[in-house]
Structures are given as structure tokens and as C-alpha cells.
Amino acid sequence: MSYEVFARKYRPQTFDDLVGQTHVSRTLKNAVAQNRLAHAYLFVGPRGIGKTSTARILAKALNCVKGPTVTPCGVCDNCREIAAGNSLDVIEIDGASNNSVDDVRQLRDNVRYAPAKGRYKIYLIDEVHMLSAQAFNALLKTLEEPPAHVKFIFATTEPQKVLPTILSRCQRFDLHRIPSNLIAQHLQFIAGKEKITLEPAAAHAIARGAEGGLRDAESMLDQLVAFCGETISEADVLNVFGFTGEQTVIDLTERILRGETPGALELLYQQSEDGKDMMRLMSDLIVYLRDLLVFKAKPDALKEDADPDLQKSLSAHAKLIATDRLLELIDQFATAEGRMKWAPNKKLHFEVAIIRAIQSLGQATLDEVIENLSALRGGKAVAGIGDAGRQESAERKAEITDPGYSKNKAETARVSESPSSYKTAQPSVDVNPARVWEQLSAKIPPQKAFLRTSAAAAHVLGIEGRNLLLGFSSDEKAMMEILGTQANRKFLEALLHEVTGKDWTLKISVKEELPPKHSMSSQTGKSSRTDDFKDDPLIQEALEMFKGEIRP
């Protein structure tokens, strides 16, 4: 007996066997059970996700000797002939090679003949978008009012090429790309049937490489069995198909987000030396950044498509970058991918893209500049003429829609007011507050330059219960206000939880007796703001950001 590939051997035979297309199988089963059958169906979707298989299952459900039934027996003559593709009553037509008007006229003439054995005569036209406009027009009348014993089932990967007059006469079903987790589970099912040891990491690597196509994944598994035998590891998958390991993409992303240019380039060189496809690596990187963007917007959206380890990595990386920065990063790499398609030296463009991405992450955005300038002005943006009413209206709307708005506003005002009555608390026995603040400051990413400078200027006063007390001198109120904004406080309190494993609240106050950290003269020990303002970290950050200079 000749060998049968996995894609044909394990083709779905019932609605319940369809993988990842629950919305389609459920609708068709209800239609068959309730006898609400349309005369024409259109299955749409990319390659290898089950369009033709769904059409054959529907044909078996209609023509099974026990039918119409949602569970065709699979053993009667009609079911076996449909599964084998040689049924007289289920005519499969390739739209690419039968796309002329004469072919459609012949089909139209044969429609009036009754089925030979089954209940219906079913015409299954694959790649229906390949029919010419004249052929479509010749089919219109028959498609709209076919004989009672005729059903049409169309399948296409490009529905936009099908005439609207055809689309309006069909019930359309859009089949989705299959989530990676479901593909990996199905591959493990096949491996169990075939007595093959398939590592979970290898199954996920195949699923990612298949990009949502189950048939592609089954063909890849077939090829790996021929290469590896009965045991397949992730390294085998990566070597055979030139894929990049998921952990490699995660490591590259982390080095980019942390601004580690040498480390990111070293990883890229290693992949290039190992013969990995640079285009594939770039595509995997963009896909991971897209997953990170979706995770930041809605963490539970990737439950079906991401394994638990990947979700942990996404959770860790989501804390390292803001959404607007991530959007810029994806745009930059997508642009670089477009250039790489036609470039002979693809690694060069990849290197440039990584360096440019890391540099852009270290630059302050306009929104950050405006936010910090607003904080420097006491937390109030300079309003133009006619803006006062709109600002007041916006604040009133925020108070109505957000019960915590007034509380947060009052808290910000309390933080900004001068000299506080907080007393210096004694450090906890098991926590060194100065050490904790030092570790926290080291975790602030380089792109938050203003926040890093303000954190460095803070004096750690101690701990009071679950409150970490910070003090600023009267000359450092601007930095205190930057640190005291609601967004920055939440960010720092999250870092505190990450460092200590406990929940903390920041308490910030002005202490007149504290010497300013940023304007202390090394010779006299006295404040010399007039003479040493050039050395102020905020001034230096602004000069570097805007490429400016101080002139006398």
C-alpha cells in the first residue's frame, strides 16, 4: 500500500474534527439539524485551514444514507466516495483550469439532471475567484435559482476578486487562521497516533512556522519524521526549516528594550553565523512586538495563541516600554523589513534597524517633554486664550466619570505643597530603604530621563509602615513635582513591588533642612545655584535632548 501523507491521512471527516473553526462547524451543524440549508455557500480563508475539508464534510452530511445528519457515518458508499473525491454526485471543479464561459455553460446544462445515488447534486468549485467575469455572469441565473436537488459550495483565498453579484447570492463563512496552541495540540495528537516522540517546544516551533495553516504544519511534521525518525526536538525543527527559536526572539527583544546595543548585535551576529534567515528573524521579531502590543492593550487576548512561558515574557517586557514607544518600534522594524526584501546584504539593514530602535527608545517624546514641563509649572499646563472654559469642563467631566479624580487631584496638591509635617521614620529591621531606592533607581529605563534624574535627587527618609518616605529640599520642588505625578508614582510603586515583593506607597515631602543633591558645591558644601546651574542634571538632560548649548 502506498504511503499517505499526514495532511491526507488526518484530514477532518466530521464537523467535530475541524480544528479552530468552531464558529463555522456550529453554524453548519445547526443548519443541517434544522433543515435550514442554503443553495450556495462560500468558504473564505487562507491556505491550509480547512475550506475544502469543510465543504466535503458538508457534502457528506447532506448525502449520507442516514442524512441529512450532523454526524455522517463515514462508512456508507456515499461517504466513502465523497471522502475519496470520486463521487458522481459531488463534482469538484478547479476554478483555475475551468474558468471559461464554455465550462460554466456545460455545468449549467448538467445541473438539471437528477443525482445518481445521493440526495443532492453538489458542485464544489475551488479557487472560485479564478473564474472570468464572463463565466461569473453566465453562472448568475443558475446560482440564484438552482433546481431543488442542487447545492453550490465555493472556496476561495481571495474573496475580493469574486463579483459582488456572486457574493450576494451565497452564505459566506470566513475561516480563521488557527491559533498556534491548537496546531501544537493537533500535532501532538498525530504524533501519538504515529508513535512519534514530539517535544512540546518542537510542536510550538512548527506551529509558529506554519503561521496558522494546519496543512502546512502537518506537511512540516511529515518532513521532520523523514529527517529525524521517531524523536523530534526543537533544535531539529530550527535546523531543518531555518527558524529562530522563540527564546532567541525574546532575548533579542529584551536587549533592545533595555538599550543593550552590543548584546543585541552580538545575538544577531550569532544567528547570522548559524545560517538563520534574516528575513524570518525580522518577521518573528515584528510578530513578537505585535503580541506585546496586544498584551499591553488586553492581556487575556493571547490566551489561545501563546503558551504560558511566552505570556510570562510578555508580562515582563510590557513593563519596560510604553505603548506609543512600542508602536514606533513596530513601525521602524516594519520599514526595515520592507528594505530588506530587496537588499543583497540583509544583515546590514537589520543592524541599522536595531541601533536606530535603541537610540529612539533613549530619546524623550514630545508628550513626555510636555508632561514634565507641565509638572515643572506646578502641574498646570499653560492654557491659551479660550482654553480655560474647556479645561474646567474637562475637569468637571473627569470628576463625574472618575470617582477617584478629585482624590487624586487633592493628593497631587498635597504632595506639591511646602514644608510637610512628615517625621523621619526609622528603617525597618529587615528592609534597608536606601538600598531599596538604589535598586529601584537602577531599574528605571533610560528613556525616562526626567524620572531617573528626579529619583536620584530624592532623599530617603525611612519607612513608616507600608510607606516609603522621600524628602526634597526646598530648591528641588520641581523634581519633587515630577516624581509626584500620578503616572510616575504608580510606575515607581510597581518597581518597588518588583524589588521587594511587597506593596508600598510613596510619601513625598519638602524638608527645609535637607541639602539639595543636584546643586551642592563640592568645595564649600553650600548651595550655589547661580554659579553651578550648568551642572544641574535637568539642564544637562535638556541640552542633550534638544542639542542645545548655554551661551553667556
Find where cell 533544535 sits. 235
Question: What is the CATH superfamily name and number for domain 6-174?
Answer: P-loop containing nucleotide triphosphate hydrolases (3.40.50.300)
Q: List phi, psi (to 5°) of 88.
A: -70, -25
Instruction: List all residues 6 or more positions away from 126 whose beta carbon is below 8 Å from its beta carbon.
Output: 51, 52, 92, 93, 94, 95, 155
The confidence score (pLDDT) of residue 371 equals 67
The C-alpha atoms of residue 28 and residue 37 are separated, in whole angstroms, by 9
- Helices 308-318 and 246-257 meet at what angle, rounded to 10? 10
Percentage, residues of the chain above pLDDT 90 = 36
**Which CATH number fits the domain 246-361, given the four candidates 3.30.470.20, 1.20.1250.20, 1.20.272.10, 3.40.140.10?**
1.20.272.10
Residue 192: band (very low, low, confident or very high) from pLDDT cuts 50, 70, 90: very high
Structural domain boundaries in the chain: 6-174, 180-241, 246-361, 373-380+400-535
H helices within 89-163, ranges in order?
101-110, 133-144
Q: List phi, psi (to 5°) of 485.
A: -65, 155
pLDDT tens, residue by residue, 44-77: 999 999 999 999 999 999 999 987 899 998 899 9
Residue 155 is classified by DSSP as E
The confidence score (pLDDT) of residue 538 equals 61
Which grid cell is 210?
506554519
The confidence score (pLDDT) of residue 103 equals 86
Residue 2 is classified by DSSP as -
The confidence score (pLDDT) of residue 374 equals 67
pLDDT tens, residue by residue, 344-375: 899 999 999 999 999 888 776 666 666 666 66
The confidence score (pLDDT) of residue 511 equals 75
pLDDT tens, residue by residue, 232-245: 998 899 888 888 88
The confidence score (pLDDT) of residue 512 equals 66
Q: In angstroms, how far is the first alpha carbon of the chain from the final one?
A: 92
**Which CATH number fits the domain 180-241, given the four candidates 1.25.10.10, 1.10.10.10, 3.90.1150.10, 1.10.8.60?**
1.10.8.60
CATH fold for domain 373-380+400-535: GMP Synthetase; Chain A, domain 3 (3.30.300)
